[in-house]
Amino acid sequence: AVSTALTENDVLRKMAEEATKKKPNSKLIKGISGVKVKDIHPPVITLTLSPGTGLFMAVLVQMTIAGKSFLGGNLEIKVAANLTANNRLSQTALGIPKFSSENCHVSLISVKTNLPSSVLPKVLNKFLDSTLQKVLPGLLCPAVDAVLGLVNAKLTTMTSEISLGTAGTLRYALLNPPTTSETFIQLDLKTILHQKEGDELDLPTDQPPLTSLPPKKEAATQLILSANFLSTELRIMQASFSLDIRDNMVDRAAGPGYPSVTLCFASPQISRALPPSQPLVIELREAKPPLVTITPEASFAHFFSTAEFLVSPLDSAPESLFILDVHSDLKARFAVRGEKLCISLALDSLSKMALASSSIGTFDELPLKGILANVIHVAYVPSINEALQGGIPLPNLLGIKYRQAEISKSEVRT
């Protein structure tokens, strides 16, 4: 980001031109009039992290200062200088990372002029002692602020609101001030959701201890997503997971008349209440927010649902037969597409199924477990995956591209 700001935006040249435009007819450098800067070489940039502070910047600058000499005629001074600055990384009131420059210093490396050799030593000493050392900081140090301003503009996009469709908008912000070590910068982020109604949803801000994080790869950015964060994203979309399942939705996958025909063999009460010709509807609703768990072996999304079985006569309103409480364990797989984290789910098991209420009397619900698992597998899980297709927007950190990311559980490396 720093290199791009310095080179693509031609910051050094713009700063030098601005400095010389302020007093175009004045003697910016004693003994020289009509000063202008030209032939600025591409800067050589060295950046190192300053533990507890932020960023140390060293920039090798090579340029030519031209003007009219007090001796008469054109004068050119080829200057090589090293610009150094400490840049503090802090946090704004809006939770945005921000760099600010401190202690900018310019030291001369070499000075060459086109003056006659007979006067060269005397003039050079004068420049070195009283002129260039005073002029160059004012000429070059504003470029540091300009570069950091461009970098900060990129960091501001991290907190831009991102649409989540019908759920509202999501934005990221810093939870704590940035932490800088010798090898990396750590940003602890929080997520802020504004629902369509305008309400702000309080999202979890859990932080895993640093000792639990995977080892840092050199020259890589790691984004660690907690299980609670993923749970919250599913919670935001909870309303879109509801589904009314009818016989024709599963006929293709499970066979004609399934599950209504199969239900008739599962229980005498169901058989009496549901003749094979009677249309059946299963209303699946989330009773409480989904939960994501992550282990070294696998990742799961746990759905806590109610499955209400209803008959749907053609000439009257649907009639409820019974309601089951269902806990489904869905194996989660992750992928990155379009700068978003995409989740794909597949049914692993029904870890719990219990009769919650019934209008046809009590019965043994256990024979229904395999039937319901198949219905969830062929109809409900595909519906959930369709709702998840939009993916979870990932934070925009200095234009990082996630499309080349490697995923390991909840850890995303770019």
Q: Tokens 């010709």 map to which residue?
A: 277
pLDDT level of residue 117 (50, 70, 90 thresholds): low
225-393 fold = Bactericidal permeability-increasing protein; domain 2 (3.15.20)
Show me where the domains of the chain are located.
Answer: 1-151, 225-393
Reference 87, options 176, 157, 40, 152; nearest CA is: 152
Lowest average pLDDT, out of 213-217, 356-360, 408-412, goes to 408-412
Query: In the 3-class helix/strand/coil scheme, how is 94-156 assigned residue by residue?
Result: CCCEEEEEEEEEEEEEEEEECCCCCCHHHHHHHHHHHHHHHHHHHHHHHHHHHHHHHHHHHHH
First-to-final CA distance of the chain? 16
User: Within the chain, what is the greatest distance between any pair of CA atoms?
Assistant: 117
Q: What is the structure's pLDDT at 280?
A: 78
> Per residue in 215-227, is it b (16+ CB within 10 Å) or e — as a string?
eeeeeebbbbbbb
Q: Once rounded to an integer, what is the mean pLDDT over residues 45-59?
A: 91
Q: What's the whole-number mean pLDDT along residues 368-375?
A: 86
What's the rounded mean pLDDT across residues 151-180?
86
Average of per-residue pLDDT across 254-279: 62
Classify 358 as helix, strand or coil. Answer: strand
Query: Which band of pLDDT confidence, cut at 50, 70 and 90, is reported for residue 23?
Result: low
Nearest Cα to Cα of residue 107 among 78, 132, 77, 130: 132
Is the pLDDT at 258 greater than 60, yes or no? no
Choice among 33-42, 183-192, 342-351, 365-374 with the minimum mean pLDDT: 33-42
Going by pLDDT thresholds of 50, 70 and 90, the confidence category of residue 163 is: confident
Percent of the chain with pLDDT over 70: 78
Mean pLDDT for 130-157 is 84
**And the tokens for 177?**
């001030």
pLDDT at 244 over 50: yes
> Does domain 1-151 bear CATH number 3.40.91.10?
no
For residues 239 and 92, the model is more confident at 92
Rounded average pLDDT over 153-158: 86
Per-residue DSSP letter, 158: G
With a cut of 50, say whether residue 414 has pLDDT above it. no
Average pLDDT over residues 14-37: 65
Q: Please give the average per-residue pLDDT across 148-170, as a whole number.
A: 84
Sign of the alpha-carbon dihedral angle for 322, 288, 198, 410 = negative
Q: Grade residue 261 by pLDDT with cuts at 50, 70 and 90.
A: low
| pLDDT score recorded for residue 56 | 94
List the 406-408 sheet strands across, edge first. 222-224, 411-413, 406-408
Mean pLDDT of 180-201: 82
Give yes or no for residue 25 having a pLDDT over 60: no
pTM of structure: 0.75
How many Å separate Cα 9 from the centre of its chain? Answer: 25
Residue-by-residue DSSP string for 236-260: HTGGGG-EEEEHHHHHHHH-TTTTH
DSSP string, 274-287: S-TTS-EEEEEEEE
Is 50 exceeded by the pLDDT of residue 253?
A: no
Average pLDDT, the chain: 80
